[in-house]
Amino acid sequence: MSNIKKITKMQLFLPIFSMILVMLVNVIYDLASGNAPFGFFSISTQVTSSGNTILYGRLIDILNRGSEVAILAIGMTLVVSASAGTDISVGSVMSLSGGMCCMLLAGYGVTNVSEYARPLWVGIGAGILVAVVCGLFNGFLVAYLNIQPMVATLILWSAGRAIGLLLCNSAIVYVRVPSFQFFGSYVGFLPTPILIAAICVLIMALLLKFTALGTFVQSVGINKKAARISGFNSAKIILMCYAICGLCAGIAGITATSRIYSADTNNIGLNMELDAILAVALGGNSLGGGKFNLAGSIIGAYTIQAITTTLYALGVSSAQAPVFKAIVVILIVVIQAEPVREYFKKLSAKKAAAKEA
């Protein structure tokens, strides 16, 4: 019994438990509908029209489609922890990054190309650079002008996508070049977005493990004034977190753009800032700043995608899916809420006292 209590008190218990619950719904559905038992977990190979053999299955689809949210969740976790606020501009920054990249690769005013107007590295580098600049802009407003994070990032939330439209001359820019499409397709049998997300998570995990970045961020988030008195430059740390968030948005934007080999600035990253914030919350992290757990945010990101995939598998239409998704997310967040945890702690304590009596 003591081992069970230790497990339930772990920070990652509820995020993992939430993910298991979502998967359990799929297992029950497969059994009820007469499909292969545990078909949700089955992974097979499929030969594409180009003759390549790729991995296929719902788990692969969740990992693939959830990659952009997972990348965004990395930066959002740091921003929330350091500034006790959220960056609601990441979806628009994704769109702007993809628009900048495709505009340079195709040439301004050109909407469909099969060869580059400029080298690939120029387009990708510029797309990521403009996203980092956006992150620095947000960070400057929050860290040095003391503007509330949601208000500060509201500027690029509304303007970022519009700037992307201007760069693309209000058109969808198609870049039909295999080397660009590679970032949204496959590396051998594995989807490239999964690999990109894994690399981003690994790099951040190593930074947090072998540098003092995590300590700096959490110290500022817990008490900015105390951190400054202790010798931390709170403003620079917050600025750095927003820059990293912008970098993550740029990488996610390039990935999403190459997935559809075009800059559809109206739809790329649409509402993804909400999924990124929810991923942090579902991961058991407080939106009030302070201590954070990156692994929890990543699990939260893929839980959100698992919910979406599950709803589609159950036959829920894309128009209705957000309603059911919101209900599920509310239930998961309520389960993880501190008052609910305290209630169950008191309930278990009463039961233990009653047994002793």
Tens of pLDDT along 74-110?
999 999 999 989 999 999 999 999 999 999 999 998 9
- What are the Cα distances from residue 82, in Å, to 108, 128, 305? 38, 22, 26
Average pLDDT, the chain: 88
Percent of the chain with pLDDT over 90: 55
Residue 265's nearest CA partner among 183, 129, 170, 157 is 170
Task: Taking residues 105-127, report their average pLDDT.
Answer: 94
CA distance linking residue 184 with residue 137, whole number of Å: 28
Is 142 a residue whose pLDDT tops 80? yes
Task: Taking residues 312-323, report their average pLDDT.
Answer: 80
Q: What is the pLDDT of residues 204-221, one digit of tens each?
A: 999 999 999 999 999 999
Q: What is the pLDDT of residues 321-352, one digit of tens each?
A: 778 777 877 776 777 677 877 787 788 778 77
- What are the Cα distances from residue 67, in Å, to 31, 117, 248? 28, 29, 11
Q: What is the pLDDT of residues 36-64, one digit of tens each?
A: 666 777 888 888 777 778 888 888 999 99
Beta carbons within 8 Å of 115's beta carbon, 6+ residues apart: 177
More confident residue, 28 or 77: 77
CA distance linking residue 266 with residue 165, whole number of Å: 8
pTM exceeds 0.85: yes
pLDDT of residue 36: 66
Beta carbons within 8 Å of 347's beta carbon, 6+ residues apart: none
Map out the domains of the chain as residue ranges: 66-330
pLDDT of residue 3: 66
Is 23 a residue whose pLDDT tops 70? yes
The position carrying tokens 């600035």 is 265
Task: Taking residues 12-25, report their average pLDDT.
Answer: 84
